[in-house]
Amino acid sequence: MVGQNEDGRTVFAQPLAQGVDPRVLAHDLGYATVHPLDAVRNGGGVIEIRFLVRPLSGEPRPQQAERGRDPRIDPDSTGPVEVRQRVAAYALVTSSRGLLATEFSDRTSVPGRWGFPGGGIDDHEQPAAAVLREVAEETQQTVSLGGLVEVQTSHWVGRSPRGTVEDYHAVRLVYEATCPHPTPPVVVDVGGTTESARWVPLHAWRTLAWTAGWRQILRARLPAL
């Protein structure tokens, strides 16, 4: 994570530890985050997430969410738990047809719930390129990518699609995007974590069963759209 002030000067560059929210990291270093700037993979292969930051002026420390746990998982009796931090890229896509939504498959812990198209970033792939690829694979839509608007994290212990038990820290890069020529969505990557996709009218977005994280972003971002 990289903090940059209004003059464009880097004021800190620190690894994001397992389970830590970027806003908490910035606060502990003496800064408040204003908004994300971008995310790029540097020459060493590390993904750097840059934030515009400012010195603290009495702001309380952001609340660090506790690590969740699937109640069906007992870490004390499952053997080794894999510690995994995953940076993934997603897009909040709008068009004349509305909002592009994807349904989670039964390979996930939330089958039947809805979210944004996107997913993991391949080795040596730039985050912006990853989100364009993922949108095409999950919905067969070609989009025009805007800026990075949210960096969301969550942390829990649960079973992965591979069947292993993970201490999992998800770092989600959320971009805004538009689709100039929307078509009926088609899931190209069949058998993955996406069951289906659809366009939803903006005024009717609440009719879908979104996961808590995506619902939070929609409440914040849709009024501006």
Domains present along the chain, CATH in parentheses: 2-55 (no CATH), 80-224 (3.90.79.10)
Q: What does the CA dihedral 138, 143, 147, 149 come to, rounded to 10 degrees?
A: -40
Please give the pLDDT value at position 62: 95
Position 76 scores a pLDDT of: 67
At 29 the pLDDT is 98
CA–centroid distance for 135 within its chain: 13
The pLDDT tens digits of the residues spanning 115-159 come to 999 999 999 999 999 999 999 999 999 999 999 999 999 998 887
Taking the C-alpha atoms of residue 82 and residue 156, their distance in angstroms, rounded to an integer, is: 12
Give per-residue pLDDT as tens, 74-83. Answer: 766 667 889 9
Q: Spell out the SS3 assignment of 138-191.
A: HHCCCCEEEEEEEEEEEEEEEECCCCCEEEEEEEEEEEEEECCCCCCCCCCCCC
What's the pLDDT at 78? 67
Within the chain, which residues score under 70 in pLDDT? Answer: 75-78, 225
| Secondary element (H or E) of residue 197 | strand 194-200
Q: How far is CA 109 from CA 87, 113, 120, 202, in A?
A: 18, 9, 17, 26
pLDDT value of position 192: 87
